[in-house]
C-alpha cells in the first residue's frame, strides 16, 4: 500500500470544498428539518392530524416514508430520511466514480498507477475517503438530533442508518466505475440505482399497512426490503430501534467493494465490463445547425427534467383533492399557512388553489434549472473550444448564442407544459371540479415571466463576465428560488424577498390577481436578453481559464 | 498575384499583456504560407483574429479584402480551419462531428462528391468515425478536424499546428492531401513550429517572435541569409593548407574532416578552389530552416539558459 497516505490526502485536497458543502448541507437540512417540524407540526395533535392525512395518501408515502407514531424525532425521521438517503447515496457514488473511472478517463490514473502505488492502492484510498466522508455526514446527522434533545440511542442509530445507505452506495459506485467505460456511464448507472432504491422503498411504503395496535404507525410492504434506503428506514431509531437492517447496507457495500477490487485486479487499464456503445458513422440529417447541436447536447438532462415535471404535475393534481378530505380543520389551517407562505407574499385563497400555486412554484424552479443549464452549456462550449469550431464556420456569433436561448426558452415552456398536462390528468383522475384546470393553467403560466427574467440575467452575466457564468449563474438561480419560495417560511424581510423574480410572480388564487408585474418582468427579460445577445456579438471569444 | 490574407501593423492586447505588437503578414493566392514561431509568439491569436473570433486592438487585417470581424459569416463559407488543439463534443461520434462541421460551413454541396471524399479521407487517415468524441486521443481529434476541413472544397485553408499528435506516416498523408487541394487552386496558411513540415510544404514563410514579424520571404530568399556547410577529407593536411579558399568562414580540421561554412549564394568560387585542390569525400549541406529559426531565437535561448544557470547557482548557495 505504498503511497496510500499521500493518495488519501490528495483526494481530500481535491474534494475539500465539495465535501465541505455536502457536510454543511446535511447540517442545514438537519436544522431546517427540526425547525420545520417544530413550527408547522409543533404538537402531537398536529402531527397526528398529518399522519391521518398521510395514511390515506399513498402518493405522499412514496415521497416520504411510513409514519412511526407522533413522537417528534420519529416524525422528522419519517419526513426526511428517504430524501437524505438519496443525497448521501449520490454524494458517495459521485465521489467513488470521480477518483476511479474519472481519473482513468482523464489519463491521470495511468500516471499514478505507473508509480509504486499500482492499481489497487488508488482504489483503496478512494474507498477510505468515501468511508470517512460518509462517517462525518452520519455524525452530523446524529449531532443534529442530539442538539435538539433527541434520545441518544436513537440519534446514534439514525446516524448509523444514514451511514449504511452511504456505505452501500459507495461500494456500488466503486463497482459501477469498474463496470462502465466512462465516468458519465458509471455515474449514470450508480445514480439510477440510487433512484431505484428510492422508488422501490417508495412502493414498499405506499403499500404499507396501518398497525393494528397503533393506528398512527405503519409497517412498510415487503418490497422495501429490496432497497438499501428501505433498510435504513427499518431501523426506526425513535420508535422501535433495530440495528441489524443497517448492517445489511454496510455488508452489501463491502461486497460491492470486494467485487470492484477483484475486477480492478484482473482488468487492463481503460477497459471495462460493459464497453462504450459505438456511435453513428454519419450524422442524422437533422443535426445541421446550432439549435440542433445545443439540443443534442442538452437532450438527456432535459428529458430527465421533463419526466420529473410530469410526475410532479400528476402528484400535485391528484393530491389537490385529498386536501379537502377528512383531515381535522386545525390541521388544514396549519397546512394552509405553510402552503400560503410558499405560494407568495401575503397569499390567501382556497386551500386547494393555494396548494396548486405553491406546488407550481416548484415547477417554476425546475424550469429555471433547464434555462440556466442551457446558458451554462454555452459557457462550457466556449471554454473547452467547441464553440471556436462552430464560430469558424458560417455561423455568426448572434446565431450561435441565440441557439442556447432558444433551447432554454423551449425547454422551460415544455417543462411547464407537461407539468400542466400531468396536473390536469391527475386532478381529473381524482375527480376535481373543472375550475381546478383554470387554476392549474394560470398558476403555470404565472411562473414563466420570473423564469425568463432569471434566464436573461444569467445570459447577461455570460455576455459581460463569461468566466463567472457557471458559478454565478447557479448561485443566482439558487438564491432566487430560495428567497422567492422559502423567504416567507424563514421570515426574511420584505425588501430581501423583493430581490427574487419569483417573489413578483402573480398569485392567481386571488380574485383580481395582479398580472402587471408579470408583464413587466417579461418586458425586462426581453430587453436584458437582447442586450446580452448584442454584447456577446461584440466581445472576443473567451477561452477557458 | 492577388493577396488573400493581408495583415499590417496588427496589434492585440489582453489587459496589460501585449500579444501582437505590429504584426505583418501577406499571403498570396495559390501559395502555401508558413507561419512560424515558438509557442506564445502570437500565432493562434493572429489566426483567431483572422477568423473573427477576436477583435484586433489596432492595425488592419483582411481576408479576400474583407474585414474578418464584420464579414465573418460570408468569409467562413470560403475558409476551412483546423485548430491547434481540437475539442470535440463528448456525446457525438467522430463521424457525426465531421458531418456537423461540414453542414455548419454551408453544406456539403454535391452530396455524392462529399461522401466519396469523406470516405477517402477516413481511409487514408485510418480514422474510425464511430467512436464517441470523449474517447478519441489527441491525434484522432486532430483527424476529425482535418477530415472535416479537407472533405469540402475551400478557397483558404487555415491550419494551426495541424500535425501535432499525428505520427510521421499521417504527416505524410496530410502533406499529400494539402498538395491535392493546392492543385485545385486553394491558398493555405500553415502555422507551425515543426520546421520540416514547413520546409516540405511552404512556398513562403513568415517568422514571428513576440507578436512581430521578424522575417518573411521565400525559402530561397531566407536560405540566402544563412551559410551552407561544406566538408571534405583532410588527407592529413593542416588547417593552414586551406587558407586560400575564398569565402570560407570558420574553417576547422576535425580529425579526418575539414569543415567550413560559406555564403549560400557565393559557392561557385569555393567549388572552383576545391576542385583545384582535388579534395575527396566532399559533402555540401544546404542550410535548414532549423538554423534559420535558431538564429532568430538564439538570443532567447541563451538568455534563458543564463537565467536558469543563475537560478541554479542561487539555489546552490542557499543550500
Write the pLDDT tens digit of every residue in B236-269: 777 777 777 888 888 888 888 888 888 877 788 8
Best A279, A396, A398, A403 member to test B by mutation, with max B CBs in 10 Å, is: A279
**C-beta of residue A228 within 8 angstroms of C-beta of residue A249:** yes
Q: Output the average pLDDT for chain A.
A: 88
Residue A12 has pLDDT above 90, yes or no: yes
**Are the beta carbons of A182 and B134 separated by less than 8 Å?**
yes
pLDDT in tens, B191-221: 987 777 787 888 898 988 888 998 888 877 7
List chain B domain ranges. Answer: 3-222, 227-285
User: Beta strands B156-160 and B187-192: pairing type?
Assistant: parallel
Burial of B37 (0-12, 13-18, 19+ CB in 10 A): buried
Which residues of chain B does A184 touch, with a Cβ-Cβ cutoff of 8 Å?
90, 134
**What is the structure's pLDDT at B314?**
40
- Grid-cell match 381546478, residue found: A436
Contact A386 B130 (CB under 8 A): no
In chain B, the percentage of residues whose pLDDT exceeds 90 is 42
Give chain A's count of helices (H) and strands (E): 20, 2
- pLDDT-derived band of residue B159, with 50, 70 and 90 as boundaries? very high
- Please tell me the number of Cα atoms within 13 Å of A372 on its side-chain side: 26
The conformation of residue A433, written as its DSSP 8-state character, comes to: -
Q: For residue B229, is pLDDT > 50?
A: yes
What's residue A85's pLDDT? 94
User: By CA distance, what is A384's nearest residue in B?
Assistant: B87
Has residue A30 got a pLDDT over 80? yes
Question: Quick check: B77 and A394 CB within 8 A?
Answer: yes
- Does A6 contact chain B (CB < 8 Å)? no
- Between B220 and A418, residue with greater pLDDT: A418
Determine the distance in angstroms separating the CA of A281 from the nearest CA of chain B, rounded to an integer: 5
The number of C-beta contacts closer than 8 angstroms across A and B is 113
Is residue A471 within 8 angstroms of chain B, CB to CB?
A: no
- Confidence category of residue A545, pLDDT binned at 50, 70, 90: low
* A394 to B100: CB separation less than 8 angstroms, yes or no: no
Query: Which residues in B lie closer than 8 A to residue A296 (C-beta atoms)?
Result: 89, 91-92
Contact state of B83 with A389 under an 8 Å Cβ cutoff: yes
Given a cut of 90, whether residue B10 has pLDDT beyond it is yes
At A233, list the grid cell. Answer: 428506514
pLDDT, residue B315, reads 38
B173 Ramachandran zone, left/alpha/beta (phi>0; psi -120 to 50) = alpha
Which residues of chain B have a CB within 8 Å of the CB of A397? 72
Residue B317 has pLDDT above 70, yes or no: no
Give the tens place of pLDDT for each residue, B100-120: 999 998 866 788 889 999 999
**Do B48 and A287 make contact, defined as CB atoms within 8 angstroms?**
no
Tell whether the model's pLDDT for residue A149 goes beyond 60. yes
Of A283, A394, A397, the CB nearest to B95: A283
- In whole angstroms, give the CA distance from residue A456 to residue A375: 9
Q: Is the pLDDT of residue B316 over 50?
A: no
Of the listed ranges A136-145, A286-295, B273-282, B296-305, the least confidently predicted one is B296-305
The distance of A292 to chain B (nearest Cα, Å) reads 10
Lowest mean pLDDT among A271-285, A343-357, B23-37: A343-357
* Topology given in CATH for the domain delimited by B227-285: Alpha-Beta Plaits (3.30.70)
**Nearest 10 degrees: Cα torsion A303, A304, A310, A315:** 180
**Which pLDDT belongs to residue A194?**
94
Contacts of B91 in chain A (CB under 8 A): 296-297
Q: What is the CATH number of domain B3-222?
A: 3.40.50.300
Confidence class for position B125, pLDDT limits 50, 70, 90: very high
Per-residue confidence (pLDDT) for residue B47, from 0 to 100: 94
d(CA A463, CA A459): 6
Q: What is the mean pLDDT of residues B267-289?
A: 83
Choose the closest CB to A278 out of B77, B85, B131: B131
User: Does A392 touch chain B if contact means CB atoms closer than 8 Å?
Assistant: yes
Q: Which residue of A has its CA nearest to B132?
A: A279
Amino acid at each position: 500500500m505504498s503511497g496510500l497516505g499521500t493518495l488519501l490526502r490528495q483526494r481530500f485536497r481535491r474534494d475539500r470544498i465539495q465535501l465541505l458543502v455536502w457536510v454543511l448541507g446535511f447540517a442545514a437540512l438537519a436544522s431546517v428539518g427540526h425547525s420545520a417540524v417544530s413550527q408547522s407540526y409543533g404538537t402531537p395533535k398536529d402531527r397526528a392530524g398529518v399522519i391521518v392525512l398521510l395514511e390515506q395518501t399513498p402518493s405522499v408515502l412514496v415521497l416520504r416514508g411510513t409514519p412511526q407514531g407522533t413522537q417528534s424525532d420519529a416524525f422528522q425521521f419519517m419526513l426526511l430520511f428517504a430524501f437524505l438517503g438519496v443525497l448521501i447515496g449520490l454524494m458517495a457514488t459521485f465521489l467513488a466514480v470521480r477518483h476511479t473511472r474519472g481519473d482513468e478517463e482523464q489519463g491521470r490514473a495511468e500516471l499514478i498507477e505507473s508509480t509504486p502505488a499500482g492499481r489497487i492502492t488508488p482504489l483503496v484510498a478512494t474507498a477510505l475517503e468515501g468511508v470517512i466522508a460518509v462517517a462525518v455526514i452520519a455524525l452530523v446527522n446524529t449531532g443534529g438530533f442530539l442538539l435538539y434533545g433527541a434520545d441518544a440511542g436513537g440519534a446514534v442509530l439514525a446516524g448509523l442508518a444514514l451511514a449504511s445507505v452511504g456505505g452501500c452506495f459507495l461500494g456500488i459506485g466503486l463497482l459501477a466505475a469498474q463496470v462502465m467505460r466512462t465516468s458519465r456511464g458509471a455515474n449514470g448507472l450508480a445514480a439510477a440505482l440510487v433512484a431505484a432504491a428510492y422508488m422501490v422503498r417508495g412502493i414498499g411504503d405506499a403499500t404499507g399497512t396501518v398497525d393494528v395496535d397503533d393506528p398512527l404507525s405503519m409497517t412498510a410492504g415487503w418490497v422495501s426490503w429490496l432497497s438499501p434506503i428501505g433498510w435504513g428506514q427499518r431501523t426506526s431509531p425513535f420508535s422501535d430501534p433495530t440495528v441489524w437492517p443497517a448492517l445489511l447496507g454496510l455488508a452489501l457495500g463491502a461486497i460491492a467493494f470486494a467485487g470492484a477490487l477483484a475486477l480492478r485486479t484482473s482488468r487492463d487499464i481503460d477497459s471495462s465490463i460493459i464497453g462504450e456503445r459505438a456511435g453513428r458513422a454519419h450524422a442524422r440529417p437533422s443535426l445541421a445547425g446550432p439549435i440542433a447541436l445545443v439540443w443534442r447536447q442538452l437532450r438527456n438532462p432535459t428529458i430527465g427534467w421533463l419526466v420529473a415535471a410530469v410526475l410532479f404535475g400528476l402528484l400535485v393534481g391528484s393530491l389537490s383533492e385529498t386536501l379537502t378530505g377528512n383531515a381535522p380543520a386545525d390541521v388544514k389551517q396549519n397546512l394552509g399557512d405553510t402552503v400560503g407562505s410558499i405560494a407568495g407574499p401575503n397569499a390567501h385563497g382556497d386551500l386547494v388553489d393555494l396548494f396548486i400555486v405553491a406546488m407550481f412554484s416548484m415547477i417554476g424552479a425546475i424550469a429555471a434549472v433547464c434555462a440556466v443549464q442551457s446558458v451554462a452549456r454555452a459557457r462550457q462550449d466556449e471554454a473547452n473550444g467547441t464553440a471556436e469550431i462552430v464560430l469558424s464556420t458560417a455561423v455568426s456569433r448572434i446565431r450561435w448564442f441565440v441557439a442556447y436561448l432558444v433551447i432554454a426558452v423551449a425547454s422551460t415552456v415544455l417543462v411547464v407544459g407537461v407539468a400542466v398536462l400531468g396536473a390536469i390528468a391527475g386532478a381529473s383522475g381524482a375527480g376535481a371540479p373543472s375550475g381546478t384546470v383554470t387554476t392549474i393553467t394560470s398558476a403555470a403560466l404565472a411562473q414563466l415571466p420570473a423564469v425568463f427574467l432569471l434566464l436573461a440575467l444569467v445570459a447577461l452575466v455570460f455576455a459581460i463576465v463569461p468566466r463567472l457564468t457557471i458559478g454565478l449563474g447557479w448561485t443566482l438561480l439558487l438564491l432566487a428560488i430560495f428567497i422567492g419560495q422559502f423567504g416567507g417560511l424563514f421570515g426574511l424581510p420584505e425588501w430581501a424577498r423583493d430581490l427574487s423574480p419569483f417573489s413578483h410572480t402573480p398569485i392567481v388564487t386571488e380574485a383580481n390577481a395582479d398580472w402587471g408585474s408579470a408583464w413587466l418582468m417579461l418586458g425586462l427579460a426581453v430587453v436584458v436578453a437582447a442586450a446580452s445577445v448584442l454584447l456577446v456579438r461584440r466581445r472576443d471569444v473567451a477561452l477557458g481559464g | 498575384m492577388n493577396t488573400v490574407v493581408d495583415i499590417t501593423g496588427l496589434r492585440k492586447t489582453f489587459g496589460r499583456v501585449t500579444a501582437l505588437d505590429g504584426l505583418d503578414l501577406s499571403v498570396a493566392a495559390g501559395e502555401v504560407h508558413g507561419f512560424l514561431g515558438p509557442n506564445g509568439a502570437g500565432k493562434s491569436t493572429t489566426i483567431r483574429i483572422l477568423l473573427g473570433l477576436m477583435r484586433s486592438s489596432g492595425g488592419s487585417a483582411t481576408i479576400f479584402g474583407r474585414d474578418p470581424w464584420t464579414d465573418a459569416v460570408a468569409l467562413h463559407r470560403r475558409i476551412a480551419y483546423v485548430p491547434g488543439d481540437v475539442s470535440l463534443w463528448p456525446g457525438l461520434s467522430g463521424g457525426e462531428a465531421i458531418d456537423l462541421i461540414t453542414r455548419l460551413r454551408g453544406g456539403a454541396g454535391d452530396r455524392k462528391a462529399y461522401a466519396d471524399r469523406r470516405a477517402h479521407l477516413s481511409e487514408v487517415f485510418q480514422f474510425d468515425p464511430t467512436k464517441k468524441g470523449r474517447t478519441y486521443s489527441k491525434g484522432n481529434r486532430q483527424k476529425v478536424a482535418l477530415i472535416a476541413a479537407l472533405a469540402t472544397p475551400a478557397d483558404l485553408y487555415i491550419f494551426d499546428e495541424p500535425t501535432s499528435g499525428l505520427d510521421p506516416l499521417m504527416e505524410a498523408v496530410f502533406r499529400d492531401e494539402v498538395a491535392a487541394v493546392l492543385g485545385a487552386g486553394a491558398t493555405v496558411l500553415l502555422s507551425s513550429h515543426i520546421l520540416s513540415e514547413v520546409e516540405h510544404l511552404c512556398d513562403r514563410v513568415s517568422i514571428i517572435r513576440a507578436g512581430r514579424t521578424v522575417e518573411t520571404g521565400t525559402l530561397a530568399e531566407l536560405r540566402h541569409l544563412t551559410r551552407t556547410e561544406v566538408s571534405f577529407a583532410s588527407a592529413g593536411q593542416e588547417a593552414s593548407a586551406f587558407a586560400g579558399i575564398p569565402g570560407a568562414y570558420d574553417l576547422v580540421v576535425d580529425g579526418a574532416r575539414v569543415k567550413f561554412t560559406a555564403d549560400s549564394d557565393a559557392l561557385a568560387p569555393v567549388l572552383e578552389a576545391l576542385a583545384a585542390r582535388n579534395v575527396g569525400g566532399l559533402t555540401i549541406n544546404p542550410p535548414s530552416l532549423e538554423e534559420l529559426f535558431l538564429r532568430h531565437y538564439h538570443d532567447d535561448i541563451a538568455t534563458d539558459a543564463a537565467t536558469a544557470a543563475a537560478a541554479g547557482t542561487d539555489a546552490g548557495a542557499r543550500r
